[in-house]
Structure 1
Amino acid sequence: MIPVCRVEDLPEGESVRIEIDGVTPVIAVFHAEGGYYALDDTCSHQDAALSDGWVEGCFVECPLHAALFDLRTGAPACLPARRPVRTHEVSVLDGMIHVRPAVREEAVA
């Protein structure tokens, strides 16, 4: 688990972007609907940071073309996005938000 920030440092409706290393994709952690959610930070439609998007309910709107993604599942809720973004496990321990990055699936040749 990777520590992200203290719960008081991530207000409802906001996000924080975390870079882990040069291999793991950048992750956006969101506080929405009283919970914490983590997604790959890059929109699956085009290269835009979801952490720069707008949170409404349990959805984030991509700042580039307004695609919506469900924070709980990573699934797109409207076009132009067609592919989901990967989700990551989030937990809160002693007032600190932690993320466990999902294992990256390698393409099979």
Structure 2
Amino acid sequence: MTGVNAETWEKVCELGDIPDNGAIGVEVGGVPVAVVRTGDEVFALHDVCSHAEVKLSEGEVYDHTLECWLHGSCFDLRTGKPTGPPATKPVNVYRVKIDGDDVYVSLSKE
């Protein structure tokens, strides 16, 4: 399907590049993206903390949470919403698809 709303996917890494219960930072069209793996799931969020503007991909991952390394703000991997202070604003979440070992991210709105 083509048109204005066509979704664009970009390969960002291979599954093995993402540590278990960890994250890596990538760029998609110039946008910083944190690709996060927890269990069998992979998520993608904007890789800039909404509180202190540092890379979230350098933080800790547990449950479905990514904790910023600088001040401890926590974000839900599924929604991007903060689950712990000091952050009060959510970060964007992006769609992810896995094809074999390849991980793709789309910045398109659902």
Assess same fold via TM > 0.5.
yes
* Counterpart among 67, 70, 85 of residue 64 in structure 1: 70
User: Which structure has the highest strand share of the two?
Assistant: 2
Q: Structure 1 residue 84: deviation in Å? A: 0.4
**What is the TM-score normalised by the length of structure 2?**
0.85
Please name the residue that 2:50 is paired with: 44
Q: Which structure 2 residue ranges, 5 or more long, are not aligned?
A: 1-8
Mapped partners of 1:59, 1:94: distance in 2: 25
Please name the residue that 2:82 is paired with: 76
Q: Report the residue type matching 1:82 in the other structure.
A: T
Distance 1:45 1:102, change over 3 A: farther
**What is the TM-score normalised by the length of structure 1?**
0.86
Q: Report the residue type matching 1:75 in the other structure.
A: K
When the two structures are aligned, how many residues end up with a matched partner? 101
User: Structure 1: which 4+ aligned runs deviate by more than 3 Å?
Assistant: none
